[in-house]
Chain A
């Protein structure tokens, strides 16, 4: 069972590595969106410092969402998904593995570049670890919840835009807690509360989301 999961993760990572351009596009999108805000709002340092956590988190949300439609599309097109559904290993495990691979490709890099964007926004240095940690805890939740939406919209007309409509409202708690943890740390109250709640969300979605993703895949592949 674990072998199958590892195999799926390794395969998806290999595929992503072979098509590095796709991965880079999502990251560049993150960088560009985060850089657009100062251009629109102005470069007053205090204002930028105040909006930094929210802007970075919204950009991360959008960038993680953009790559969701690729999560199952290729496997669906070439029939791999059908074989995975028919296979002996439980679908929930495979679904979790796919979401994990998506996170490694699209979520983890965000957490790693976010500190550099924080520099653009003149965020105090001691907040950077909080920001990175909140992204590390929050982005896996985005991948797991997003995978439910991706599975539901598989092969559906106008899938991409529909996916955003389904998934973004469900992202609200992650956004609030993620950006909130940095805000709280900035206010000198420590962001531990929000980070712990984010961790709780992560655990809960690890338990429930794979089941929902598997059900959604079965519905879509009927």
Chain B
């Protein structure tokens, strides 16, 4: 099997056009199922009440925000190694979705934090690393936007994404140490009791929906980029 067959924008463009609607449809169905399970089937949390239900958006968004950066870095590395045009385009197409999920994770997190912790923002280790992740996404997008030559923009962005991916664990652990050394975790995000199966099902459905949505949106976006660049 020739792995590089679809590495050419010309062959990838029709494929992306064919499969994107399917991913989009799957995202819609999964999101409906997930939201229904989350809001109507899953029981109310004993300690937090109804407010906990925001985790069905929050947790999958946080997962996606980190996972998409990783995928972006892998595409970037592929692009630098094999010098394929499509890899850079995929990385470019993924970045806005990743930034969006990072923002959603922060936003929903602060909405959840207000009634439960009594504040919109704490300098918790996870929040802080998520914020830095958002800055990394913005840096990537801004760098690519500032360079006019698309090939150079791809390669420069690729290097930045790899440097960022190497740094993410270092940033995360330094923030964890900083936080725990300063005050001892005042707020723990991890819940004591294990999750109920309906809650877990709703969360996994939403996570799958976000996956499908990311794939669909990225494919549509990459088609726009191919159109723009290859004419």
Chain A interface residues toward B at CB < 8 A = 148, 152-153, 156-159, 162, 165-166, 168-170, 172-173, 176-177, 180, 183-184, 197, 201, 208, 212, 215-216, 219-220, 222
Contacts and interface: CB of A to CB of B under 8 A. Distances in A.
A203 B175 CA distance: 20
A184 B155 CA distance: 41
A173 B178 CA distance: 9
A165 B152 contact: no
Contacts, number: 75
A210 B89 CA distance: 27
Contact of A148 (B132, B163, B174): B163
A212 B163 contact: yes
B142 A165 contact: yes
B146 A158 contact: yes
Given A176-B174, A184-B181, A170 B143 contact: no
Interface of B: 80, 132, 135-136, 138-139, 142-143, 146-148, 151-152, 155-156, 159-160, 162-164, 166-167, 170-171, 174-175, 177-178, 181-182
Contact of A216 (B147, B156, B164): B156
A166 B135 CA distance: 8
A47 to B, nearest CB: 16
B160 A173 contact: no
30 contacts: A152-B143, A153-B146, A156-B143, A156-B147, A157-B148, A158-B146, A159-B146, A162-B143, A165-B139, A165-B142, A166-B142, A166-B143, A169-B139, A169-B171, A170-B163, A170-B164, A172-B132, A172-B175, A173-B174, A176-B178, A177-B174, A180-B181, A183-B181, A201-B170, A208-B166, A219-B152, A219-B159, A220-B152, A222-B152, A222-B155
A169 B152 contact: no
Which 4 A-B residue pairings sit nearest by Cβ, starting from the closest? A173-B174, A169-B135, A176-B178, A219-B155
